[in-house]
Structure 1
């Protein structure tokens, strides 16, 4: 059983995400800081909830939550085929489909291979396992991601 380490704003937003994602057809994940907090990493106060979803599920969530599509260019490190922001709770929710990270050999998809269920009052959420979250942090290589490795590794 996963013991989540989350604050009240994150908890409220995650419960809304769980309810909204209950009808999705494809695999999906909460990742980033919110996913790490759900895994039990202590001391995190993510400013948003990041979701990795399929393209068809992104369309469903965008319609359900009246999310705003972001059409700006990709960052130097990340890009998504679909990127939208939804204001459904205390924290914004970022919906990403076709999410990729730039690595030395070019752009590579970020699509977790593990899927761990976390039960919340609003429903079930899914996260990559702590081990896979640590691998993703290494792939991203940013100082904030690398700083989170010890907390994730302690959960493995």
Structure 2
């Protein structure tokens, strides 16, 4: 697994804190999870799927890291208790209680199978490859379909 230095840096700076402060299960998703699974994905931030309560807990814990000027795209498609934090390496984005607007309304994004990858002796939870593909395809955006293809090619 070839990870860029920025991804390694944000994992080292944030994941031990997440293990210490999150009370509910959480998982890395998006491009970072794709890269952690071994795909050659470009990673701009560390996306976390957490409970709504943990998202609020982290916001209270890290007020000096909060990037309150950032607004995520796709509000018609996604909703969550969102927060973006400044960390060494790259931003960390927390999506607490993430929901996806699909036919029939808003549905929670769930991860049914989590695996752990080791990055410098830090256990990082990510969806299994099959789960990542399922989730990325459900998002139905070009960048997510491209990441699903990268994972399929492994």
Q: Which runs of 5+ in 1 are unaligned?
A: none
Q: Which runs of 5+ in 2 are unaligned?
A: none
| Pairs aligned (count) | 150
Of 6, 22, 30, which aligns to 1:32?
A: 30
Q: Deviations over 1:61-112 (max 9, x none)?
A: 22333234679696121111x1101102121111111101111221111121
Contact 2:70–2:84 under 8 Å retained in 1: no
TM-score by length of 1: 0.86
Over 3 Å counting, the alpha-carbon distance change for 1:71 and 1:9 in structure 2 is: closer
- CA gap of 1:110–1:55, structure 2 versus 1, over 3 A, is same
8 Å CA contact 2:6–2:90 kept in 1: the answer is: yes
Residue in structure 2 matched with residue 16 of structure 1 by the alignment: 13
Q: 1:50 aligns with which of 47, 50, 57?
A: 47
8 Å Cα contact 2:113-2:131 kept in structure 1 = yes
Q: Is the 8 A contact 2:10 2:89 kept in 1?
A: yes
